[in-house]
Structure 1
Amino acid sequence: MLEDTTLTNTPTLFRPMTLRGLTLRNRIVISPMCQYTAHEGHLEDWHIVHLGRFATGGAGVVFTEATAVQKSGRITHGCAGLWDDSQIPGHARIAQFVRRNGAVPAVQLGHAGRKSGMQRPWFGNGPLNDDDFARGDMPWTPVGPSAIPVAEGWPVPHELSVSEIADLIEDYAAAARRALAAGYQIAEVHGAHGYLIHSFLSPLSNKRDDAYGGDLAGRMRLALEVTEAVRAVWPDDLPLFFRTSAVDGDPEGWTLDDTVVLARELKARGVDVMDCSSSGIAGAATAGGKQKRQPGFQVPYATRVRQDAEMAAMAVGLITHPEQAEAIVAEGRADLVAIGREALVDPSWPLHAATVLGHDVEFRTWPEQYGWWLAGRQRTSDFYQPADRD
């Protein structure tokens, strides 16, 4: 990892960062946010408008939502996929638009595991029921490391065999090849939020007694083998991320110490950035478990990984204000900050942050189609002041 430290008057948040052969224009990343609006895994016009706003809004990296490597690996019937070549063009439209507007297009590859085949959130966010069947969303059998459901009332997953695990790993590699063909420049392996890889990592959900279970090394095996397979097809000059739930939020579950061990092993296998989230093993993917949800509540996980594993880390979770984001990276608590729901509120959050931090008060970094209009208004309007972000 290299960074440009010559821009001494530039806020750290807006200093370029180089990962392998790729330079990010700033440290602001748009997190993957599922839209549940794909059709048979294909991305629609909604997705290009949704994601395109973040590229024109000034982010350094724009992630497409969690993208399934198998059809049965979708969280819902409306989730994106890259299990078939026919899905490449939809992803390519997004990657091309994001790149043309100065951001880096990124894809998160995953499998929902025992949380697959569930309801879209606005229909309940739980197991499919008769109302979903009437809408045409029919169930399939979820899979996991062990035949343990997410919670009472959820379907019992099929316990993956060793041969099925081998097929799964190859499907991750195949999806990575398709992502590369679509033009993505960053790939991320999704190992968090109770989905398949996380369920193998956590002793709460993995009760296997073979090579993919048992002790920490056995429970990490799938995560490491998937990462090796993706890294093998991902070009050496492009970075690879890994999203982790740094803690389960249960004393009997996955811990931060375990995350540090995993991070070191992933770094040795070519992972460049640990994306540090938390929880989700037995509840909603975005639930904070037993943790108190407060601004930046997950930042300490990124800090610990950054220090103890000596690798770049990304912080995510209730990062909402420019000054807060700047302090996180300027103080060395994380290398990148990921914005999610705050970007839904304000797709131009990075551009507004640049104004608040004094990096761009003249609209120089805005798309030229917008910047000249706004600069003109500022020159001719005595009453105009940039929006107060407080």
Structure 2
Amino acid sequence: MKKGIKLFQELTFRSVTLKNRIVVSPMGMYSAENGYVMPFHLAHYAKFAMGGAGLVFVEQTAVTRTGRVSNGELGLWEDRQIEGMQQLATLIKSQGAKAAIQIGHGGRKASQQRAFLGNGELTEFDLAIGEEKWVPAGPSAIAFADGWQTPVAMSTDAIRGIVHAFVAAARRALLAGFDIIELHMAHGYLLQSFLTPLANQRTDEYGGALENRMRLPLEVARAVRSAIPHSTPLFVRISATDWIEGGWTIEDSLVLAGKLKAEGVDLIDCSSGGNMQSGATNSNLARGPGYQVEFARRIRAEKGIATGAVGLIRTPEHAERILQEDDADLVFLGRQMLYDPFWALHAAEHFGLTGNFEGWPQQYGWWLHRWARAVRNGDEPLR
């Protein structure tokens, strides 16, 4: 290990030690059938498992059938779904990474078309070929955007049922063998929609003042923390700001982070947005490399809780700088990992931490080493 490179230093959360600070971020693939793992998922996560990251997240997984964002979302609302998830967790851990899962509920963004088919409301053709449509639920009867269904405002009994659903899904995730659980409180989905005044206009104990709007997310965090072993780390992904005037702000997130820390949450995964329809414009939002890192830095510094940085982090130098400047404890990469599933191994080579393809899967490293030697000797590269 080259002295001072933090990206490849171990980090421990409770009983789970990560071999490095590189995380494959949860990314929805919308390719499940009735919530069940399909062959695509095995191929998809196998790449990341072999790629050298310390932690690999399985995408947002619905805690109820009607909490699915689309018909293609993975689920853990019934015991029969554990087996497929166990395959994914075992696969990830077989290659030396730790396995994490993000559990959530789509809220008012549920029952939509799969993202790669355009989002939006399901058509008559979709229904004719077997897709299921239902009325989504949210804090208030406010649609996410034009062309999206208007959700039914949840009763207090329904809200209590959601808490139980998160607990049940978390327990199933542990039975499947996941090392870390993350609660999805971001991107306009159910828990975040209770937080933001853009979606929550309730007048009961779950709406109005910030304290009330935080009530359900905190109840979920408290219940899940109590239901899982002390040794299991609990992460939370938040939208640090809505990027919309009158919406959720970083100042609100600081308050929430402090309360989540008090409930036993171990890390805040700092994303943003999600309450603005894709393609809309907002003068406060300017995307660029590391555009969300400041949120991780502030929450870490001001609330004393570990954070994960996300947002167009592409190069090893940028990821390392985030850690060196104490902006975050982990670096989450999403689309960059789709482009290069071996990003972590390439980063180790970039920093001179490995040579001759050390650290790669033996089955790959042996061939790559021979190929590199042939190139150095001026021979024809091996085919």
Q: TM-score range by the shorter chain?
A: over 0.9
- CA change 1:309–1:20 in 2 (3 A) is same
User: Structure 1 pair 157/177, CA: closer, same or farther in 2 (3 Å)?
Assistant: same
Identify the match of residue 135 of structure 2 among 141, 156, 175.
141
Give 1:119 deviation, angstroms.
0.5
Unaligned runs of 5+ in 2: 379-383
2:381 aligned residue = none
Partner of 2:277: 283
Pairing of 1:296-311 with structure 2 (within 5 A): 296-311=290-305
Structure 2 residue 192 is the aligned partner of structure 1 residue 213: no
The CA RMSD measured in Å over matched residues stands at 1.7
Distance 1:287 1:335 in 2: 31
Deviations 1:283-318 (A, max 9, x none): 249998841110110000100111011110001110
Moved more, 193-202 or 44-53: 44-53
The whole-number CA distance in structure 2 between the counterparts of 1:24 and 1:362 is 24
Alpha-carbon spacing, 1:69–1:319, altered in 2? closer, same or farther (3 Å):
same
Shift of 1:195: 0.2
Whole-Å separation in 2 of the counterparts to 1:143 and 1:382:
61
- Percent of aligned pairs with the same amino acid: 48
Which amino acid is the alignment partner of residue 271 of structure 1?
Answer: V
Task: Give the letter aligned to residue 327 of structure 2.
Answer: R
Relative to structure 1, is the Cα distance of residues 265 and 218 closer, same or farther in structure 2, using a 3 angstrom cutoff? same
Give the whole-Å Cα distance in 2 for the aligned partners of 1:94 and 1:161.
35
Q: Show structure 1 runs of 4+ deviating over 3 A.
A: 284-290
What is the total number of aligned residue pairs between the two structures?
A: 378
Q: Distance in 2 between matches of 1:283 and 1:29?
A: 27
Q: Name which of structure 1's ranges 214-223 and 354-363 shifts more when overlaid on structure 2.
A: 354-363
* 1:148 alignment partner, SS class: coil
Aligned partner of 2:243 in structure 1 is 249
Alignment of 1:168-187 (within 5 A): 168-187=162-181
What does residue 3 of structure 1 align with? none
Distance between the aligned counterparts of 2:24 and 2:56, measured in 1? Answer: 5
**Counterparts of 2:309 and 2:356 in 1: how far apart (Å)?**
29
Alpha-carbon distance change, 25 to 167 in structure 1, aligned in 2, over 3 angstroms: same
Counterpart residue type for residue 304 of structure 1: R
Q: Distance in 2 between matches of 1:383 and 1:258?
A: 60
Verify: 1:367 aligned to 2:336, yes or no: no
Provide the residue aligned with 1:355 in structure 2: 349
In the alignment, the residues of structure 1 paired with residue 310 and residue 74 of structure 2 have an alpha-carbon distance, to the nearest angstrom, of: 22
Report the TM-score when normalising by structure 2.
Answer: 0.95
23, 26, 33: which one aligns with 2:27:
33
Give the TM-score taking structure 1 as reference length: 0.94
Instruction: Tell whether 2:57 aligns with 1:63.
Output: yes
Measured against aligned partners, the alpha-carbon deviations of 1:82-124 in whole angstroms (never above 9, x if no partner) come to 0000000000001011111110110000000000000012322
The residue matched to 1:381 in structure 2 has which SS? helix
1:89-100 to structure 2, matched below 5 A, reads 89-100=83-94
2:294 paired with 1:294:
no
Structure 1 pair 285–22 and aligned structure 2 pair: CA distance change class (3 A)? farther
Q: Secondary structure at the match of 2:35?
A: coil
1:48 maps to amino acid: L
Deviations 1:183-202, CA, capped at 9 Å, x for gaps? 00000000000000000000
Q: Is the 8 A contact 2:244 2:282 kept in 1?
A: no
Is the CA contact (8 Å cut-off) linking 2:2 and 2:352 kept in structure 1?
no
- Deviations along 1:291-350, one digit per CA (max 9) or x if unpaired, are 111011000010011101111000111001111111111111111111111111111011
What does residue 184 of structure 2 align with? 190
* Structure 1 unaligned residues grouped into runs of 5+: 1-6, 385-390
**How many angstroms does 1:155 deviate by?**
1.3
Residue pair 1:279, 1:285 contacting (<8 A) in 2 also:
no
Measured in 2, the distance between the counterparts of 1:98 and 1:287 equals 38
